Chains A and B, each alone.
Chain A
Amino acid sequence: MKRREEGLEFFRQLLLIRRFEEESARAYSMGKIGGFLHLYIGQEAIAVGACAAIQKDDYAVTTYRDHGLALARGMPPGVAMAELYGKQTGCSQGLGGSMHFFHSETNMLGGHGIVGGHRPLAAGVAFASKYQGYPHVTLAFYGEGASSIGASHEAMSLAALWKLPIVFICENNQYAMGTPLKRHLSITDISLKADAYGMAKDRFVADDVFTVRDRIQAAVDRARSGEGPTLIEIRTYRFRGHSMSDPAKYRTKSELDAEKQRDALTRLEKQLLEDDGTKDQVAAIRETVEAEIAEAIQFAESSPEPGLELLEATTYDGDFAR
């Protein structure tokens, strides 16, 4: 029974993210969203499963590919869409944009644009929990493309040394922009990196939210009980290009089609439709999600632009240092 309810809720979240991203892409091509837009389509099961494994007061930190995580964490879609539109009602008041989603209410600590640069920061969030004696755990997401940069190594080295309550989640979507893993890393099993730090590790494929949730849960429990960090490599695939400007010509259609067979959203929907206990609710969920997305767009469209007066006031707390 519980599993059915969870399945329906997971489906709702996967669909919400998928539809949010599709509509963002549409708004982007209409010129309503500027800058870079990195879509999470294909990877949704990771954010949804991960957020199901943590508590309200736990923290999440990720890369610029951050919309899915923010929504899974509970950011209202309108607030997320308004940020993409650069509106003042956006999560970062329209000053962060697609790559910098922050939301203190849901402990969503960004949205960071420098590959690997957020990983030491995430370790610092975990450090603070430990220092203060709080039971909170930090989830730190990154792409496999961040495997070689120095900040990644330093973050894992220190987190392991100090047994910080953090779970590093490598979303291995197999391409760093246009570069496949085999052309930028000397190993194919990224979780092996954990061994160098004496850190626990795990590795699996993100085709099912329950699996993602349960496997991350085990790492979260370890972190919470003081056993230190875990490195989890989750194999996934992005169905779109790296960002909106990337037509993804470096991979074949047959590869993409094969990967789509593993889409957690399609698979879960199929399961729900095959189950008499859930099949009647799928259509209703689709309808609710559509309404929510339409409302989010409406909210973003009708929201005010941020004013110039926000800039200095948000740069410093207190007087501007000139």
Chain B
Amino acid sequence: MSTTTMRYREAIRSAIDEEMVRDKNVFLMGEEVGHYQGAYKVSEGLLEKFGENRVIDTPIAECGFAGIGIGAAMTGLRPVIEFMTWNFSAVAFDQILNNAAKMRQMSGGQFNVPIVFRGPNASARQVGSQHSHAMEHFYAHIPGLKVVAPATPADAKGLLKTAIRDNNPVIFLESETLYTFKGEVPDEPDYTVPFGKGRVAREGKDCTIISWSRLLQVSLQAAETLAADGIDVEVIDLRSLRPLDEDLLIASIEKTHRAVVAYEGWPYGGVGAEIVDRLQRLAFDELDAPVLRVCNLDVPMPYNAALEQQVIPQANRIIDAVRQVSYRQ
């Protein structure tokens, strides 16, 4: 299988590009996606290629254009709605919760909403308390939505293509700090990655670290340090948060009997707590230690660089947690 080295942002762009070529009902809408070429240059060149009817700059009105996307999706289109960052989806939350997610069920199955909401999620660098949210914890809670968070360029491309072809609303979470991250992306024209399938990013036998998006890279670094210490860690990249790949998680726990979940977001509830709940319910007899979570400290994100680094999970906190569940302090 031939591949091309791409940055994460290029992989996303190529998925949008290919799907727009493939289906004229696919369009991109959001703030600065066209003439400005994207706030993070994800959509660079798309306006020139597809024109203003399909790459649509919007005013700053997230509730308005999220709603427009939903209405358009109900009547035959496949919108890709970019949030400049996921933080701003908070003002469109009602549209996503009450219109996108519930439409199919409250219409008795008559109206699908095939729409993708996408953009960078979670912390960037020192952007402060209002610009650093990990929003997956809000959205994965909602039946009717699918939530994916790729960590690599290959998955970014494959999952986005799947998202655009899906008949349900999909929350597609990128990461500003991953946009420049390079990786091999398959050249195959119909390359997609299915939802609900995680991936073993590193094989190991002593403990499982479960992660997604940017924290996957941090987890892999932690695994290297631990390997030098003689702890052989398996790292799972979930890729898809709803649906969640229970089978992969259980298979890994059956091997390692220990787990740590590492992610951005607050400790109260959320995707990490959901994973811990499933592990204790589905693999209780396999566990040799309580499952720990390494996530943000339970405070709004501070601006101060050193403090920000302490709030966000770092490799050392993941390492400590793995040692703790391995009873090797």
Measured CB to CB, the residues of A under 8 A from B are 59, 61, 90-96, 100, 102-104, 109-114, 117-129, 131-132, 150-151, 154-155, 157-158, 161, 310-311, 313-322
Contact = CB atoms under 8 A, between A and B. Distances in A.
Contacts, number: 162
Contacts of B61: 154, 157-158
Nearest to A99: B106
Contacts of A118: 99
Greatest chain B CB density within 10 A among A104, A154, A157, A310 is at: A154
B108 A131 contact: no
B75 interface: yes
B130 interface: no
Nearest to B27: A131
A64 to B, nearest CB: 11
27 contacts: A92-B108, A95-B108, A100-B106, A102-B111, A109-B75, A110-B106, A111-B106, A112-B99, A117-B67, A120-B63, A120-B70, A124-B71, A125-B71, A127-B68, A128-B71, A150-B63, A151-B64, A154-B64, A154-B67, A155-B68, A158-B65, A314-B105, A314-B108, A314-B109, A321-B146, A321-B168, A322-B242
Given A316-B144, A317-B167, A321-B242, A119 B67 contact: yes
Nearest to B196: A321
The interface size bin for chain B is: 35 or more
A102 B243 contact: no
Contacts of A121: 67-68, 70-71, 74, 95, 99
Given A102-B107, A104-B107, 16 more contacts: A90-B108, A92-B106, A102-B108, A112-B98, A113-B98, A117-B95, A120-B65, A120-B70, A121-B99, A125-B74, A127-B72, A128-B71, A128-B75, A129-B75, A157-B64, A322-B243
Contact of B108 (A93, A151, A161): A93
Contacts of A114: 94, 98
A102 B195 CA distance: 29
Contact of B104 (A129, A317, A322): A317
